[in-house]
Chain A
Amino acid sequence: MAAVHTRRRVVNVVALTLSGCATLLGLVFLAWILWVTLKNGLGAIDWKLFSKITAYADQGGLSNAIVGSLVMDAIALLICAPVGVLAGAFLAEYAHRSKLGATIRFLNDILLSAPSIVLGLFVYVIVVLPMSNLTHGAVSFSGLAGSIALALIGLPVIVRTTDEMLQLVPGTLREAALSLGIPQWKMTVQVLMRAATSGIVTGVLLALARLAGETAPLLFTAFGNNFMAWHPLDKMESLPVAIYQYTNDPNPALHAIAWAGALLITLFVLTLSLLTRLLFSRKKVPHE
């Protein structure tokens, strides 16, 4: 008996210790990555980064990449936020228990973790190629195509959050609104969405945090551009793509600039995800 007892206790202690070690390991990797980014990034941040374009290479900065990222992220949000919120409202209000609703909800969860590089190929085939054929090559890769690819990445995040947040709104609110005789669309937009505003905003911010760091889908949609571009139909540089190119380059001076860009993105994304937590800390926030 005593032997069995000792063995069970030893197994327990070993397992719990290993579990603590696993947690420590996870935290070590987080600290390692953040520390390296911070150390290398802070050393390379200077005024040139924001004032000069990538055409000057190691004498330059990332201003066109920063502008391109901001423009494309903004257009992507303009596309996916309204579509995503409306689609989420459909799932929560009109298709709560229908078969179509269940199917869309299910496939939306798959789109949520679909490989982003395939979404980039998708946009390349349906936007970049036709545009190039239509304009005889005058417009091919473009900031707009990049934005569409990013919108596809943000869309499922917004759909899912809106759906869940609207379902959290109490049913009595719906009944009260309808009993006053207002049409269902007005109830959805003016009562339910207003009640779930903070949740919906959380979803949009989560989507932004997700798409701001995406690189793969931009490679063959927005392509990249060493000069400043504001027009959405021009090829556009972006921070992640600039980092990708500079990291692939053997020149260490470019690596330093890439680290500075990496620090900017990381700070932006981490601030956003911590902000969403604060904004909506009491209720459940869907992630993944």
Chain B
Amino acid sequence: MSSIPATTEPVDVDRRSRTDARHDALFRLLLKACALLVLAALLGAALSTLWGGREVLFGHGLHFLASDAWNPVTDDYGALAPIFGTLVTSLIALVLAVPTSFGIALFLTEIAPAWLRGPVATAIELLASIPSIIYGMWGLFVFVPFMSRIEPALNDTLGRIPLVGKLFQGPPIGLGLLTAGIVLAVMILPFICSVMREVFRTVPTRLKESSYALGSTTWEVVWDIVLPYTRSAVIGGIFLGLGRALGETMAVTFVLGNSYNITSSLLMPGTSISSSIANEFNEAVGTHRSALIALGFLLFVVTFVVLLIARLMLRRLARREGN
């Protein structure tokens, strides 16, 4: 609508229309400034963390990225352990949340009777509005004790399998990478599920009905028709969930156990970028603080790239749909 000018009579320009034009220009400027604030916020977040972490990022350089030491006493900082924890917990979360979200989306679009869809979808989306600190509390006081009861059984069953077994051998303390990954999975599930549900509904009914007419089962329609049709948006939704998982702080801080470890066992405590920052920032001074802000910069860059991919994938489907 922006092309329609407010003043249309160039010959008879009276004072009123000139004032209106001036107000319009001012208004447009004000709006543009507000919109540019969104850009400023993202750019500012990147630059300010780069600036705050400059001492470690530029002073220690590659050592910061490649070392697994984290010693505030000798001011020796390496980001490897937090990066490892962030990646492993997010990966566990994805492995658990993607099939579950797919199952829920499938249930809500193809299986459930119409009266059940609304309430169940609302309930699943409520999972997304529960504050992360509540996930953290529930995780620490309820889920960690629960896991510590289950972990001996994991040791005895999955832990016996050659190769993969190492992942599930460890002390049954409840805290650790696996527990954090599961809590994260519950948190990101509604985000992935809501994207999947939304894009599954964009599949033309004609396509699905043609497949049913050829004798396909519901599962074959979903697996061979719906999923290939919505592939890029589904991947986008998964990356959106990954972006959430990477940056999540409060839910993992309580259950991760907070130790700078790189271990082969998922039952061992670890740390993550966000939980290191949350735990140590207010006691940190000097180089230590700079190292934590530098960690924040790394986290921002990684999540930015992941979310960029997510949005590009999601946009591709929107374009094909013609919106």
Which residue numbers of A lie inside 8 Å of B, CB to CB? 8-9, 11-12, 15-16, 18-23, 25-27, 29-30, 32-34, 36-37, 40, 82-84, 86-87, 89-91, 93-96, 98, 101, 103-104, 106-111, 113-119, 121-122, 124-126, 152, 155-156, 159, 171, 174-175, 178, 181-185, 188, 209, 212-216, 219-220, 223, 240, 243-244, 247-248, 255, 258-259, 262, 265-266, 269-270, 273, 277, 287-288
Instruction: Decide: B247 and A115 in contact? CB cutoff 8 A.
Output: yes
Any A CB within 8 A of the CB of B194: yes
Given contacts A27-B123, A174-B1, A220-B282, contact A36 B138 (CB under 8 A): yes
- Interface flag for B30 (CB, 8 Å): yes
CB distance from A54 to the nearest CB of B (A): 16
Cβ–Cβ contact A266 & B130, under 8 A: yes
Is chain B's interface secondary structure helix, strand, loop, or mixed overall? Answer: helix
Complex CA distance for A113 and B314, rounded to whole angstroms: 14
5 nearest A-B residue pairs (beta carbon):
A115-B247, A213-B131, A22-B103, A185-B27, A90-B31
Tier of interface size on chain B: 35 or more
> CB-CB < 8 A to B141: which residues of A?
36, 40, 247, 255
Contact, CB under 8 Å: A107 / B282: no
- Inter-chain CA distance A51–B306, complex, in Å, is 46
Whether B20 and A183, one on each chain, are in contact in the complex, defined by CB atoms closer than 8 angstroms, is yes
Instruction: List, in ascending order, chain B residues with CB within 8 A of A30's CB.
Output: 123-124, 126-127
Residue-wise interface mask of B (246-271) relative to A, using a CB-CB cutoff of 8 A (1 in contact, 0 not): 11111000100000000000000000
Which residues of chain B come closer than 8 Å to A175, judged between CB atoms?
4
**Known contacts A183-B20, A183-B24; A23 and B104 CB within 8 A of each other:** yes
B189: Cβ under 8 A from any A Cβ: yes
Known A26-B189, A90-B32; contact A19-B42, beta-carbon cutoff 8 A = no
Tell me which of A86, A114, A215, A259 contacts B42 (CB under 8 A): A114
Closest to A276 in B: B129
Are B278 and A27 neighbours in the complex by a CB distance under 8 Å?
Answer: no
B residues bordering A, Cβ < 8 Å?
1-2, 4, 6, 20-21, 23-24, 26-28, 30-32, 34-39, 41-42, 44-45, 48-49, 51-52, 99-104, 106-108, 111-112, 120, 122-138, 140-142, 186, 189-191, 193-194, 217-220, 222-223, 240, 243-244, 246-250, 254, 274, 277-278, 281-282, 293, 296, 299-300, 303-304, 307-308, 311, 315
* Min CB gap B278→A, angstroms: 6
Residues from chain A with a CB closer than 8 A to the CB of B247 are 113-118
Please tell me which one of the listed residues A22, A36, A104, A288 contacts residue B104 in the complex, with CB atoms under 8 A apart.
Answer: A22
